[in-house]
Chains A and B, each alone.
Chain A
């Protein structure tokens, strides 16, 4: 099947602001297409799964649009690189405390609610909203990211079963997993499209990956 690897396909499943991601990619000179068309997704050379909102809503939208089968094939069988952003990253896990439905399960782990009782600063509130310094492990997505900070807005965070699947960590009340990576699947809790030059670096690295 022919793939247009130069173009990044941003999956439109009715959640998340896709235009911001496209705007930043365009600013970087990277071509991208926003689509909900299953045929286009099935031929995509690179995928971005965005998302803002609730876990079950996201999974329901993916299911009713028939996207789960196509994505499973493309990602698990064909090895197409996929970047999950915010809710998109959470959907990569097996489940979330926010919902009842199973996630895509491409990352062995789950999504958990921030436990405010464990916060090291009593004045911190949930949702976590704001910029936070993020520490990356060695990964092509992390190239050139020293002393990086990103914009986060979430009440739930990622948790992985495998330490080697941790892409990056951040501190808010306690250290938590801010990004995951396993083979061709990467997920980041923060919003690269809202994180200035730091986000641009992540998107640039993703565009150049594999």
Chain B
């Protein structure tokens, strides 16, 4: 049976509260991140990505104490991103128990940091997250600083550069699909995974296990991430921390992937 990682993406704000966005804009308060991690722990979640979405915008460092509290509750890998600017930040995070650091704004503004982290801690320690917005003309552009700044670069070019610099993984985060349940942007995922020699993680828009399956089989992704799907329930978006059971994942996702893999070999 082929397993792929299914990753809840948790967003925290300036006050270390768990929030959820729509298109990187409108925010809803979800709750206490430590409580969410405890629940995900019980549900034997594969991995968590914790992103501080205000750190870069507010030009402040990561909230180390809060992060350490959150991570000490987790018995699965936790990747952290948001406001990481130096090797000191990175070393502190790893000492706290963070598995991987996620760079976005820093990766684009000081790309040498990616190389430094990879050289000191290994490629698998550094992930680059690319928030992507589609322009009116249908072009994909990477944005940073909480999606406020357009870098003018395509996700494919940035992904290729970052992998060359040592990034062990690329998260492609669709700003347009974020929080919308419209499904992943498969064309976007395909364009990046086609040229990426490192694993690509889909994020933004997932509404079901079907979306996970297509992201992997059609989008060429190695893993899938979701926010709304794991913190909300129902069309009225009641807050509920959830995750599929091992059985649901096996039947709804892994078996389909194995069957497809057998067909193609």
On whether the two chains bind one another, the answer is yes
Determine if A53 and B44 form an interchain contact, defined as CB atoms under 8 angstroms apart. Answer: no
Closest to B41 in A: A196
Among B68-76, B171-179, B237-245, the stretch that binds chain A is B68-76
**Are B5 and A131 interface neighbours, CB within 8 A?**
yes
Task: Tell me the minimal C-beta distance from B13 to chain A in angstroms.
Answer: 25
Which chain B residues in 69-108 approach chain A with CB under 8 Å? Answer: 71-72, 74-77, 94-100
Q: Assess the B75–A24 pair: CB atoms within 8 A.
A: yes
Alpha-carbon separation in the docked complex, A91 to B169 (Å): 24
Main secondary structure of the interface of A (DSSP, over half): mixed
Measured in the bound complex, the distance between the Cα atoms of B125 and A52 in whole Å is 8
B213: min CB distance to chain A, Å: 14
Write the chain A residue with the least CB distance to B127.
A129
CB distance from A118 to the nearest CB of B (A): 13
Does A17 sit at the interface, judged by CB under 8 A?
Answer: yes
Pair B97/A17 contact, Cβ less than 8 Å: yes
| A-contact 0/1 string along B1-20, CB 8 Å cutoff | 11111000000000000000
**Does B75 contact A200, Cβ atoms closer than 8 Å?**
yes
> Distance in Å from the Cβ of A122 to the closest Cβ of chain B?
9
- The CA of A127 and the CA of B41, in the complex, are separated in Å by 24
Q: How far does the alpha carbon of A155 sit from the alpha carbon of B166 in the complex, in Å?
A: 12
Chain B, residue nearest A24 (CB): B75
CB closest chain-A residue, reference B220: A123
Contact B75 A199 (CB under 8 A): yes
Complexed CA–CA distance, A81 and B41 (Å): 30
Write the chain A residue with the least CB distance to B98. A17
Q: Does A105 contact B (CB under 8 A)?
A: no
- CB contact list, A1-26 vs B, under 8 A: 17-20, 23-24
Q: What's the least CB distance linking B19 to chain A, in Å?
A: 26
- Please report the total number of A residues contacting B with Cβ < 8 Å: 36
Q: Which of B115-123, B130-138, B147-155 contacts A (4 or more CB under 8 A)?
A: B115-123
B46 touches A129 (CB 8 A): no
Given A17-B97, A20-B97, residue A194 in contact with residue B44 (CB < 8 A): no
Q: Does A157 contact B (CB under 8 A)?
A: no
| B75–A194 CB distance below 8 A | yes
In whole angstroms, how far apart are the Cα atoms of A194 and B41 in the complex? 10
Q: How far is the CA of A195 from the CA of B3 in the complex (A)?
A: 14
Partner of B77, one of A53, A133, A153: A153
Pair B96/A130 contact, Cβ less than 8 Å = no
Complex Cα–Cα for A20 and B75 (A)? 8
Given A19-B96, A125-B198, A194-B75, A155-B123 contact (CB < 8 Å): yes
Q: Give bound CA distance, A182 to B39, whole Å.
A: 38
B41 CB to nearest chain A CB (Å)? 8
In the assembled complex, the CB of B139 is this many whole angstroms from the nearest CB of chain A, namely 26
Q: Judge whether B76 and A151 touch: CB under 8 Å.
A: yes
Which chain B residues (183-238) contact chain A, with CB distance < 8 Å?
196-199, 220, 222-223
Q: Which residue of B lies closest to A194 (CB)?
A: B77
- B231 CB, min distance to chain A CBs, angstroms: 21
Q: How far is the CA of A126 from the CA of B199 in the complex (A)?
A: 7
- Give Cα distance in the complex from A199 to B56, angstroms: 35
**Closest chain B residue, CB of each to CB of A123:** B220
Can you name 21 A-B pairs with beta carbons within 8 Å? A17-B98, A20-B71, A20-B74, A20-B97, A52-B122, A53-B120, A120-B265, A121-B265, A125-B197, A125-B198, A125-B199, A127-B122, A130-B5, A130-B46, A133-B3, A153-B77, A155-B122, A193-B75, A194-B75, A196-B75, A200-B75
Residues on B lying within 8 angstroms of A by beta carbon are 1-5, 41, 44, 46-47, 68, 71-72, 74-77, 94-100, 119-125, 168-169, 196-199, 220, 222-223, 261, 265
